[in-house]
Protein backbone atom coordinates (compact mmCIF):
# COMPACT_ATOMS: atom_id res chain seq x y z
CA UNK A 1 0.00 0.00 0.00
CA UNK A 2 1.50 3.34 -1.02
CA UNK A 3 1.82 6.28 1.26
CA UNK A 4 -1.25 8.08 -0.14
CA UNK A 5 -3.45 5.04 0.48
CA UNK A 6 -2.17 4.74 4.00
CA UNK A 7 -2.97 8.39 4.69
CA UNK A 8 -6.45 8.00 3.20
CA UNK A 9 -7.19 4.95 5.36
CA UNK A 10 -5.99 6.80 8.44
CA UNK A 11 -8.26 9.73 7.61
CA UNK A 12 -11.27 7.43 7.12
CA UNK A 13 -10.60 5.68 10.42
CA UNK A 14 -10.28 9.01 12.19
CA UNK A 15 -13.54 10.26 10.69
CA UNK A 16 -15.36 7.05 11.60
CA UNK A 17 -13.99 7.21 15.14
CA UNK A 18 -15.07 10.82 15.49
CA UNK A 19 -18.49 10.03 14.05
CA UNK A 20 -18.90 7.09 16.48
CA UNK A 21 -17.94 9.20 19.42
CA UNK A 22 -20.31 11.94 18.35
CA UNK A 23 -23.15 9.40 17.92
CA UNK A 24 -22.48 7.92 21.33
CA UNK A 25 -22.55 11.39 22.85
CA UNK A 26 -25.82 12.20 21.08
CA UNK A 27 -27.35 8.93 22.23
CA UNK A 28 -26.27 9.59 25.78
CA UNK A 29 -27.74 13.09 25.63
CA UNK A 30 -30.99 11.73 24.14
CA UNK A 31 -31.20 9.16 26.92
CA UNK A 32 -30.54 11.84 29.54
CA UNK A 33 -33.24 14.11 28.08
CA UNK A 34 -35.70 11.17 27.97
CA UNK A 35 -34.96 10.33 31.60
CA UNK A 36 -35.46 13.98 32.58
CA UNK A 37 -38.72 14.06 30.61
CA UNK A 38 -39.95 10.91 32.33
CA UNK A 39 -38.99 12.34 35.71
CA UNK A 40 -40.84 15.59 34.89
CA UNK A 41 -43.90 13.62 33.81
CA UNK A 42 -43.71 11.56 36.98
CA UNK A 43 -43.48 14.74 39.06
CA UNK A 44 -46.44 16.27 37.22
CA UNK A 45 -48.49 13.09 37.72
CA UNK A 46 -47.61 13.04 41.41
CA UNK A 47 -48.52 16.72 41.78
CA UNK A 48 -51.77 16.13 39.89
CA UNK A 49 -52.67 13.22 42.16
CA UNK A 50 -51.80 15.23 45.27
CA UNK A 51 -53.92 18.17 44.02
CA UNK A 52 -56.79 15.79 43.26
CA UNK A 53 -56.45 14.25 46.72
CA UNK A 54 -56.48 17.72 48.32
CA UNK A 55 -59.57 18.67 46.30
CA UNK A 56 -61.34 15.43 47.26
CA UNK A 57 -60.42 16.01 50.89
CA UNK A 58 -61.66 19.62 50.72
CA UNK A 59 -64.96 18.47 49.20
CA UNK A 60 -65.34 15.80 51.87
CA UNK A 61 -64.57 18.33 54.62
CA UNK A 62 -67.08 20.78 53.12
CA UNK A 63 -69.76 18.08 52.98
CA UNK A 64 -69.08 16.97 56.54
CA UNK A 65 -69.03 20.56 57.84
CA UNK A 66 -72.30 21.46 56.13
CA UNK A 67 -74.16 18.34 57.29
CA UNK A 68 -77.00 18.79 59.76
CA UNK A 69 -76.12 15.39 61.21
CA UNK A 70 -73.27 15.17 63.64
CA UNK A 71 -70.43 12.81 62.65
CA UNK A 72 -68.01 11.38 65.22
CA UNK A 73 -65.34 8.75 64.48
CA UNK A 74 -63.53 6.82 67.21
CA UNK A 75 -60.39 4.88 66.32
CA UNK A 76 -59.49 1.41 67.58
CA UNK A 77 -58.14 2.92 70.82
CA UNK A 78 -61.49 4.70 71.33
CA UNK A 79 -59.90 8.11 70.84
CA UNK A 80 -61.65 10.71 68.68
CA UNK A 81 -60.31 10.62 65.13
CA UNK A 82 -62.80 13.06 63.58
CA UNK A 83 -65.78 15.22 64.56
CA UNK A 84 -67.67 17.77 62.45
CA UNK A 85 -69.18 21.07 63.60
CA UNK A 86 -72.73 19.69 63.82
CA UNK A 87 -71.56 17.09 66.32
CA UNK A 88 -70.55 19.83 68.77
CA UNK A 89 -73.92 21.56 68.29
CA UNK A 90 -75.79 18.36 69.08
CA UNK A 91 -73.69 17.12 72.00
CA UNK A 92 -72.51 20.47 73.31
CA UNK A 93 -68.81 19.56 73.02
CA UNK A 94 -66.43 17.31 71.10
CA UNK A 95 -65.23 14.44 73.34
CA UNK A 96 -61.56 13.50 73.06
CA UNK A 97 -62.37 9.88 73.77
CA UNK A 98 -65.25 7.50 74.43
CA UNK A 99 -64.74 7.95 78.19
CA UNK A 100 -65.73 11.62 77.81
CA UNK A 101 -68.79 10.93 75.65
CA UNK A 102 -72.16 11.99 77.09
CA UNK A 103 -74.96 11.01 77.55
CA UNK A 104 -73.71 7.76 79.02
CA UNK A 105 -76.03 5.70 76.79
CA UNK A 106 -73.93 6.75 73.80
CA UNK A 107 -70.73 5.58 75.50
CA UNK A 108 -72.28 2.17 76.10
CA UNK A 109 -73.49 2.01 72.49
CA UNK A 110 -69.97 2.67 71.15
CA UNK A 111 -68.47 -0.08 73.30
CA UNK A 112 -71.22 -2.49 72.34
CA UNK A 113 -70.59 -1.86 68.62
CA UNK A 114 -66.81 -2.21 69.03
CA UNK A 115 -67.29 -5.56 70.77
CA UNK A 116 -69.99 -7.02 68.49
CA UNK A 117 -69.20 -5.29 65.15
CA UNK A 118 -72.95 -4.78 64.70
CA UNK A 119 -74.74 -1.45 64.23
CA UNK A 120 -76.79 0.00 67.09
CA UNK A 121 -79.44 2.76 67.10
CA UNK A 122 -80.27 4.62 70.30
CA UNK A 123 -82.35 7.70 71.17
CA UNK A 124 -81.21 9.93 73.99
CA UNK A 125 -82.51 13.12 75.58
CA UNK A 126 -80.38 16.18 76.27
CA UNK A 127 -81.40 18.99 78.56
CA UNK A 128 -80.78 22.75 78.51
CA UNK A 129 -82.26 23.04 75.99
CA UNK A 130 -84.39 19.93 75.78
CA UNK A 131 -83.48 18.00 72.64
CA UNK A 132 -83.98 14.42 71.45
CA UNK A 133 -81.15 12.82 69.48
CA UNK A 134 -81.18 9.64 67.41
CA UNK A 135 -77.69 8.13 67.20
CA UNK A 136 -76.60 5.41 64.78
CA UNK A 137 -73.37 3.67 65.80
CA UNK A 138 -71.75 1.49 63.12
CA UNK A 139 -68.47 -0.45 62.99
CA UNK A 140 -65.83 1.27 60.82
CA UNK A 141 -63.26 -1.56 60.67
CA UNK A 142 -60.44 -2.70 62.98
CA UNK A 143 -62.28 -1.66 66.14
CA UNK A 144 -63.18 1.86 64.92
CA UNK A 145 -66.75 3.09 65.47
CA UNK A 146 -68.64 5.78 63.55
CA UNK A 147 -71.48 7.76 65.18
CA UNK A 148 -74.07 9.69 63.17
CA UNK A 149 -76.18 11.97 65.38
CA UNK A 150 -79.55 13.32 64.16
CA UNK A 151 -81.75 15.83 65.98
CA UNK A 152 -85.27 14.33 66.05
CA UNK A 153 -86.79 16.85 68.47
CA UNK A 154 -89.16 18.33 65.87
CA UNK A 155 -90.23 14.88 64.70
CA UNK A 156 -90.97 13.87 68.29
CA UNK A 157 -92.96 17.05 68.87
CA UNK A 158 -94.90 16.50 65.65
CA UNK A 159 -95.68 12.96 66.69
CA UNK A 160 -96.80 14.18 70.13
CA UNK A 161 -99.02 16.82 68.51
CA UNK A 162 -100.49 14.17 66.20
CA UNK A 163 -101.23 11.86 69.13
CA UNK A 164 -102.81 14.69 71.11
CA UNK A 165 -104.84 15.75 68.10
CA UNK A 166 -106.18 12.25 67.51
CA UNK A 167 -106.99 11.84 71.21
CA UNK A 168 -108.67 15.26 71.43
CA UNK A 169 -110.58 14.82 68.17
CA UNK A 170 -111.80 11.41 69.29
CA UNK A 171 -112.93 12.86 72.62
CA UNK A 172 -114.62 15.89 71.04
CA UNK A 173 -116.48 13.74 68.51
CA UNK A 174 -117.40 11.13 71.09
CA UNK A 175 -119.09 13.65 73.39
CA UNK A 176 -121.82 14.91 71.01
CA UNK A 177 -122.17 11.46 69.48
CA UNK A 178 -122.87 9.97 72.93
CA UNK A 179 -125.31 12.79 73.67
CA UNK A 180 -127.14 12.21 70.40
CA UNK A 181 -127.42 8.50 71.16
CA UNK A 182 -128.67 9.15 74.70
CA UNK A 183 -131.21 11.76 73.60
CA UNK A 184 -132.45 9.55 70.75
CA UNK A 185 -132.98 6.62 73.15
CA UNK A 186 -134.78 8.88 75.64
CA UNK A 187 -136.90 10.38 72.89
CA UNK A 188 -138.01 6.94 71.77
CA UNK A 189 -139.01 5.99 75.31
CA UNK A 190 -141.00 9.19 76.06
CA UNK A 191 -142.71 9.66 72.71
CA UNK A 192 -145.78 7.77 73.98
CA UNK A 193 -145.48 8.26 77.74
CA UNK A 194 -144.74 12.00 77.72
CA UNK A 195 -145.53 13.62 74.36
CA UNK A 196 -144.93 17.11 75.82
CA UNK A 197 -141.25 16.25 76.36
CA UNK A 198 -140.71 15.30 72.73
CA UNK A 199 -140.21 18.89 71.61
CA UNK A 200 -137.58 19.52 74.33
CA UNK A 201 -135.60 16.38 73.52
CA UNK A 202 -135.85 17.03 69.78
CA UNK A 203 -134.39 20.50 70.27
CA UNK A 204 -131.53 19.04 72.32
CA UNK A 205 -130.96 16.41 69.63
CA UNK A 206 -130.76 19.15 67.02
CA UNK A 207 -128.24 21.14 69.08
CA UNK A 208 -125.95 18.14 69.55
CA UNK A 209 -126.19 17.19 65.87
CA UNK A 210 -125.31 20.77 64.89
CA UNK A 211 -122.33 20.76 67.25
CA UNK A 212 -121.10 17.47 65.82
CA UNK A 213 -121.48 18.88 62.31
CA UNK A 214 -119.45 21.98 63.26
CA UNK A 215 -116.61 19.90 64.72
CA UNK A 216 -116.42 17.78 61.57
CA UNK A 217 -116.51 20.88 59.33
CA UNK A 218 -113.76 22.58 61.34
CA UNK A 219 -111.62 19.45 61.28
CA UNK A 220 -111.94 19.27 57.49
CA UNK A 221 -111.11 22.97 57.12
CA UNK A 222 -108.09 22.63 59.40
CA UNK A 223 -106.84 19.57 57.52
CA UNK A 224 -107.13 21.44 54.21
CA UNK A 225 -105.42 24.56 55.56
CA UNK A 226 -102.44 22.56 56.83
CA UNK A 227 -101.57 21.82 53.20
CA UNK A 228 -101.67 25.54 52.30
CA UNK A 229 -104.06 27.99 50.64
CA UNK A 230 -104.56 28.94 47.01
CA UNK A 231 -103.47 32.57 46.86
CA UNK A 232 -104.32 33.63 43.32
CA UNK A 233 -107.19 36.07 43.99
CA UNK A 234 -107.29 39.80 44.65
CA UNK A 235 -109.66 40.08 47.60
CA UNK A 236 -111.37 43.26 48.84
CA UNK A 237 -110.98 42.61 52.56
CA UNK A 238 -113.23 45.53 53.54
CA UNK A 239 -116.10 44.19 51.41
CA UNK A 240 -115.55 40.65 52.67
CA UNK A 241 -115.73 41.84 56.30
CA UNK A 242 -119.02 43.66 55.66
CA UNK A 243 -120.51 40.50 54.15
CA UNK A 244 -119.49 38.42 57.17
CA UNK A 245 -120.79 41.03 59.64
CA UNK A 246 -124.13 41.00 57.84
CA UNK A 247 -124.17 37.21 58.17
CA UNK A 248 -123.80 37.52 61.96
CA UNK A 249 -126.25 40.38 62.51
CA UNK A 250 -129.04 38.11 63.72
CA UNK A 251 -126.78 36.12 66.07
CA UNK A 252 -125.39 39.33 67.56
CA UNK A 253 -128.88 40.76 68.07
CA UNK A 254 -130.09 37.58 69.77
CA UNK A 255 -127.05 37.70 72.07
CA UNK A 256 -127.60 41.38 72.88
CA UNK A 257 -124.26 42.35 71.35
CA UNK A 258 -123.71 45.43 69.20
CA UNK A 259 -121.78 44.64 66.01
CA UNK A 260 -120.06 47.41 64.04
CA UNK A 261 -117.58 47.83 61.16
CA UNK A 262 -114.96 50.50 60.57
CA UNK A 263 -113.53 50.14 57.06
CA UNK A 264 -113.46 53.61 55.51
CA UNK A 265 -111.19 52.74 52.57
CA UNK A 266 -110.80 49.94 50.08
CA UNK A 267 -108.33 47.34 51.34
CA UNK A 268 -107.14 44.73 48.87
CA UNK A 269 -105.04 41.66 49.61
CA UNK A 270 -103.84 38.78 47.47
CA UNK A 271 -105.03 35.39 48.64
CA UNK A 272 -108.02 33.10 48.98
CA UNK A 273 -111.43 34.71 49.50
CA UNK A 274 -112.73 31.41 50.87
CA UNK A 275 -110.04 31.12 53.51
CA UNK A 276 -110.07 34.81 54.45
CA UNK A 277 -113.84 34.55 54.94
CA UNK A 278 -113.18 31.61 57.24
CA UNK A 279 -110.70 33.70 59.24
CA UNK A 280 -113.08 36.66 59.62
CA UNK A 281 -116.01 34.38 60.41
CA UNK A 282 -114.20 32.60 63.21
CA UNK A 283 -112.99 35.83 64.80
CA UNK A 284 -116.47 37.41 64.74
CA UNK A 285 -118.18 34.23 65.96
CA UNK A 286 -115.65 33.87 68.77
CA UNK A 287 -116.07 37.52 69.82
CA UNK A 288 -119.88 37.31 69.93
CA UNK A 289 -119.85 34.05 71.92
CA UNK A 290 -117.63 35.48 74.65
CA UNK A 291 -119.23 38.92 74.94
CA UNK A 292 -121.97 39.45 77.50
CA UNK A 293 -125.34 41.02 76.57
CA UNK A 294 -124.97 44.78 76.31
CA UNK A 295 -121.37 44.49 75.08
CA UNK A 296 -119.97 45.28 71.66
CA UNK A 297 -117.80 43.79 68.93
CA UNK A 298 -115.95 46.16 66.59
CA UNK A 299 -114.24 45.07 63.38
CA UNK A 300 -111.77 47.43 61.71
CA UNK A 301 -109.90 47.17 58.41
CA UNK A 302 -107.15 49.62 57.52
CA UNK A 303 -103.75 50.00 55.88
CA UNK A 304 -101.29 49.52 58.73
CA UNK A 305 -98.20 50.53 56.76
CA UNK A 306 -97.01 50.49 53.19
CA UNK A 307 -97.98 47.18 51.63
CA UNK A 308 -99.68 45.79 54.74
CA UNK A 309 -103.35 45.54 55.71
CA UNK A 310 -104.56 45.07 59.28
CA UNK A 311 -107.79 43.45 60.44
CA UNK A 312 -108.72 44.19 64.06
CA UNK A 313 -111.54 42.45 65.94
CA UNK A 314 -112.12 44.03 69.35
CA UNK A 315 -114.74 42.90 71.90
CA UNK A 316 -115.78 43.89 75.40
CA UNK A 317 -116.14 40.27 76.49
CA UNK A 318 -114.92 38.19 79.40
CA UNK A 319 -111.26 38.37 78.41
CA UNK A 320 -108.51 35.76 78.49
CA UNK A 321 -106.14 35.05 81.42
CA UNK A 322 -102.55 35.99 80.66
CA UNK A 323 -101.32 32.43 81.26
CA UNK A 324 -103.54 31.18 78.42
CA UNK A 325 -102.66 33.79 75.77
CA UNK A 326 -99.76 31.77 74.33
CA UNK A 327 -101.89 28.62 73.94
CA UNK A 328 -105.26 29.78 72.60
CA UNK A 329 -104.22 29.10 68.98
CA UNK A 330 -103.62 25.41 69.74
CA UNK A 331 -106.14 22.91 68.41
CA UNK A 332 -108.89 22.07 70.92
CA UNK A 333 -107.38 24.36 73.55
CA UNK A 334 -110.09 26.05 75.60
CA UNK A 335 -109.72 28.63 78.35
CA UNK A 336 -113.11 27.69 79.82
CA UNK A 337 -114.23 24.28 78.60
CA UNK A 338 -117.66 24.47 80.24
CA UNK A 339 -118.45 27.86 78.69
CA UNK A 340 -117.05 26.81 75.33
CA UNK A 341 -119.33 23.79 75.14
CA UNK A 342 -122.23 25.84 76.45
CA UNK A 343 -121.78 28.37 73.64
CA UNK A 344 -121.22 25.68 70.99
CA UNK A 345 -117.53 26.31 70.38
CA UNK A 346 -115.39 23.57 68.84
CA UNK A 347 -111.99 24.65 70.14
CA UNK A 348 -110.66 24.84 66.56
CA UNK A 349 -111.65 28.34 65.45
CA UNK A 350 -108.52 30.21 66.54
CA UNK A 351 -106.26 27.47 65.19
CA UNK A 352 -107.99 27.96 61.83
CA UNK A 353 -107.43 31.74 62.10
CA UNK A 354 -103.70 31.24 62.71
CA UNK A 355 -103.34 28.83 59.77
CA UNK A 356 -105.14 31.17 57.35
CA UNK A 357 -103.01 34.15 58.43
CA UNK A 358 -99.74 32.20 58.09
CA UNK A 359 -100.78 30.73 54.73
CA UNK A 360 -101.20 34.32 53.49
CA UNK A 361 -97.75 35.31 54.73
CA UNK A 362 -99.26 37.20 57.65
CA UNK A 363 -99.59 36.87 61.40
CA UNK A 364 -102.13 37.11 64.20
CA UNK A 365 -101.65 38.60 67.66
CA UNK A 366 -103.88 38.91 70.70
CA UNK A 367 -104.11 41.22 73.69
CA UNK A 368 -106.63 40.77 76.48
CA UNK A 369 -107.70 41.91 79.91
CA UNK A 370 -109.90 39.80 82.14
CA UNK A 371 -113.39 41.27 82.37
CA UNK A 372 -112.55 44.06 79.90
CA UNK A 373 -112.33 42.32 76.54
CA UNK A 374 -109.99 40.94 73.91
CA UNK A 375 -108.44 42.31 70.72
CA UNK A 376 -107.23 40.14 67.84
CA UNK A 377 -105.04 41.83 65.22
CA UNK A 378 -104.31 40.12 61.91
CA UNK A 379 -101.62 41.55 59.62
CA UNK A 380 -101.82 40.60 55.94
CA UNK A 381 -99.70 41.58 52.96
CA UNK A 382 -101.31 43.81 50.36
CA UNK A 383 -101.15 43.07 46.62
CA UNK A 384 -97.64 42.99 45.18
Q: Return phi, psi of residue 226, to 5°.
A: -65, -15
Is pLDDT above 60 for 16? no
Q: Could you report the per-residue pLDDT of 152-207, keeping only the tens digit for each? A: 988 888 787 777 777 777 777 888 888 888 888 888 888 777 777 888 888 888 88
| Predicted TM-score (pTM) of this structure | 0.61
Task: Give the DSSP per-residue string, 265-303.
Answer: S--EEEE-HHHHHHHHHHHHHHHHHTS-TT-EEEEEEEE
pLDDT at 13: 40
| Contact partners, residue 121, CB within 8 Å, separation at least 6 | 134, 135, 136, 137
Amino acid sequence: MNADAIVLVALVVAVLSATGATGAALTARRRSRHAESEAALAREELERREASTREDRAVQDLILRSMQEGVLLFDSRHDTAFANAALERHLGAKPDSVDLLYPVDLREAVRRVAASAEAVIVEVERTAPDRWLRVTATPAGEGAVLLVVTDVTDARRTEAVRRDFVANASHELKTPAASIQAVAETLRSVVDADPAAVHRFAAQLEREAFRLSRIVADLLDLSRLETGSELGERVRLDALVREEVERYDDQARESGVRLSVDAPQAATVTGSARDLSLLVRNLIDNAIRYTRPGGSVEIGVAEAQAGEISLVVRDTGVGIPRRDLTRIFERFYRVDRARSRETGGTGLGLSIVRHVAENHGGSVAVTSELGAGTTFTVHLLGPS
